[in-house]
Structure 1
Amino acid sequence: MDSYLAEIKGVILSINPEAEIVEATRKVEAGNIRQGAYLLGRYFKYYPEGTIHLAVVDPGVGSRRSPILLETKGYFFAGPDNGVFSYVLEEEKAELAIKLTNSEYQLLSASRTFDGRDIFAPTAAYLSLGIDPREFGPELEEIETFKIPKPEMRGEQIEGEIVHIDHFGNVVTNIPLELLSEVGRFVTMNVKGRAINKLVTSYKDGKDYEFFVITGSGGTLEISSFGKDAAGGLDVSPGDKVYLTTVKT
């Protein structure tokens, strides 16, 4: 138990009492930048244009990594320059990137361990009041990103990767349904030596099978188990490879 989220909210509301704060998620594993980046990439687009997104997944806080503000065509993003915006930048071009250095828009603190409260929260609050993004610091030419895994064709197989495990235990891959439709008909998906041979369109359709493949809400193929934890049953983790075998139709 901690007070960190409450402190961030308090800072924002003390600067802009009219701010509407939405807690998107606080379930990101501690320090898991890739997980945070994936989740942010999934949900940011469903918020109204002009939304300011804070991403505080920051294991390098206090180090040489920069605190940054990004402006895209539709949104603002404040957080550490550590790759947490990688999935966002696959979809949105950064029209402006700022290194947050102007102490006028930051909290004075003896600590260097909580930029979420001391830098990102006040930045978001002042931005919501109409402060020009360029007031927060100098422009950046480059932003830290990591390479997002893409599915690859290997003969008649598609080699993909597990990119996320949700709290139901569904195993989310990076293989989009459109790619399967382009190359042929589903035969089987293999992961860690286990073959899953059933493709269904609803969870209920898969209730008679131990594991099945389904198109998830993100548009990519997932491995699921009706009412059970598929990831636990298969002993898989993000980063594990999956192999989708197809036959041409």
Structure 2
Amino acid sequence: MQIITLTGDYGVKDHYLASLKGLIYSYVQNVQIVEISSYVRSFDVNQAAFYIESCIDDFPENTVHLNTVGAELYIDSKYPEKSLLPGVLQYKNQYIISFDNGFFSLFLKDKSFDNFWIANNMEIDSSSYQFPVKKMLIPLLISLVKKENFNKMVEKTDYFQRKINLSPVIETNVIKGSVIHIDIYGNLITNIDKETFYRFGNDIPFTIFFRKKEYYIDKISKTYNEVVEGESVAIFNSNNIMEIAINMASNELTGGASRLLGIQIGDIVRIEFSPKGSVENLNQLF
């Protein structure tokens, strides 16, 4: 059975998502469609990349992932490298289809990939600009899955559009990260990974500070319930990314860590380390 995932910003109120599913079912037999998310923030390719990156390792080989966020066709005949066309990324023997609008660079960051193709040989007319998902992405997906005319539509290349990916800033004994996602529970997902955090060592005292300085955390827990109910907690989630939460505080009244700590997407998370012999430790002696 062919698995196809959908990631988009359509929501479910309108008919757009159903229309895409109907097209896929019409042309691809024995297929299972999985919605990664239909509620990506409008035009936010960074969040779309985050969603797919967070779960792609849980899917089997040959899964095809379709991202429709930021789908806009643009042809620049004078500077072709600035054109926005559909692309196909082969990554760990899975495939991701999206417009080449910076999404692929946000997804990959510094990770290696198998192959990348740009769809610069597809037929384009006025409807391609009006309905780029239905007229460009879906036909490309169908040709890939059915192995029909795919190589005629695309050209293999190593070039794709680059978009700035916000990475943690590392200074002397300090990591400055930021909140990149808030999940349905109000938990704060940062851009600080486990490897970056532990580059300072395994037993180095530290303090995690937020926008409101009265809130801080000075230890990493393995689970949410290692702290008492209502207390803030820092863990590394299943993707080895630092997550800030408040134990048992995720409901409609409290809004979880986001509301209780007054933190939104883009806010700074600052981690200060105090190695032995540092100025911070020396000052504590006096």
Asked if these proteins are the same fold (TM beyond 0.5), I'd say yes
The alpha carbon displacement at 1:214 in A equals 1.6
Q: Which amino acid aligns with 2:40?
A: V
Question: With structure 2 as the length reference, what TM-score do the two structures score?
Answer: 0.76
Q: Which amino acid aligns with 2:32?
A: E
Aligned identity (percent) is: 24
Q: Distance in 1 between matches of 2:230 and 2:197?
A: 21
In structure 1, runs of 5+ residues without a counterpart are: none
The alpha carbon displacement at 1:110 in A equals 3.6
Tell me the residue number matched to 1:78.
97
Question: With structure 1 as the length reference, what TM-score do the two structures score?
Answer: 0.86
Distance change >3 Å, CA 132–CA 50, structure 1 → 2:
farther
Distance change >3 Å, CA 62–CA 22, structure 1 → 2:
same
Structure 1, residues 114-133: CA drift from partner, whole Å, max 9, x if none? 32222212221221112353
Residue 182 (str. 1) matches residue 199 (str. 2): yes
Q: Distance in 2 between matches of 1:3 and 1:101?
A: 30
The alpha carbon displacement at 1:73 in A equals 4.8
Q: Which amino acid aligns with 1:232?
A: R
Q: Distance in 2 between matches of 1:51 and 1:100?
A: 23
Within 5 A, what are the aligned runs for 1:103-182? 103=123, 110=127, 112-131=129-148, 133-182=150-199
Tell me the residue number matched to 2:78.
none
Tell me the residue number matched to 1:45.
57
Is the 8 Å Cα contact of residues 109 and 118 (structure 1) preserved in structure 2? no
Q: Distance in 2 between matches of 1:181 and 1:45?
A: 23
Q: Distance in 1 between matches of 2:196 and 2:128?
A: 49
Does 1 or 2 have the higher relative contact order (CA < 8 Å, sep 6+)?
A: 1
Q: Which amino acid aligns with 1:222?
A: E
Distance change >3 Å, CA 34–CA 18, structure 1 → 2:
same
Is the 8 Å Cα contact of residues 207 and 225 (structure 1) preserved in structure 2? no
Q: Which moved more, 1:203-212 or 1:6-15?
A: 203-212
Larger radius of gyration: 2
Tell me the residue number matched to 1:67.
86
Q: Which amino acid aligns with 2:246?
A: S
Residue 192 (str. 1) matches residue 211 (str. 2): yes
Is the 8 Å Cα contact of residues 206 and 272 (structure 2) preserved in structure 1? yes
Tell me the residue number matched to 2:20.
8
Tell me the residue number matched to 1:99.
119
The alpha carbon displacement at 1:57 in A equals 0.3
Q: Which amino acid aligns with 1:68?
A: G
Residue 243 (str. 1) matches residue 260 (str. 2): no
Structure 1, residues 37-94: CA drift from partner, whole Å, max 9, x if none? 1111212222111111101101x62444222222345122211111122243232425
SS of corresponding position for 2:55 = helix
Q: Which amino acid aligns with 1:26?
A: S
Backbone CA RMSD of aligned residues: 2.4
Distance change >3 Å, CA 203–CA 130, structure 1 → 2:
same
Aligned length: 245
In structure 2, runs of 5+ residues without a counterpart are: 1-12, 76-83, 250-255, 277-286
Distance change >3 Å, CA 30–CA 134, structure 1 → 2:
same
Q: Distance in 2 between matches of 1:61 and 1:153?
A: 35
Q: Which moved more, 1:206-215 or 1:18-27?
A: 206-215
Is the 8 Å Cα contact of residues 66 and 97 (structure 2) preserved in structure 1? yes
Q: Which amino acid aligns with 1:170?
A: N
Q: Distance in 2 between matches of 1:74 and 1:154?
A: 37
SS of corresponding position for 1:23 = strand
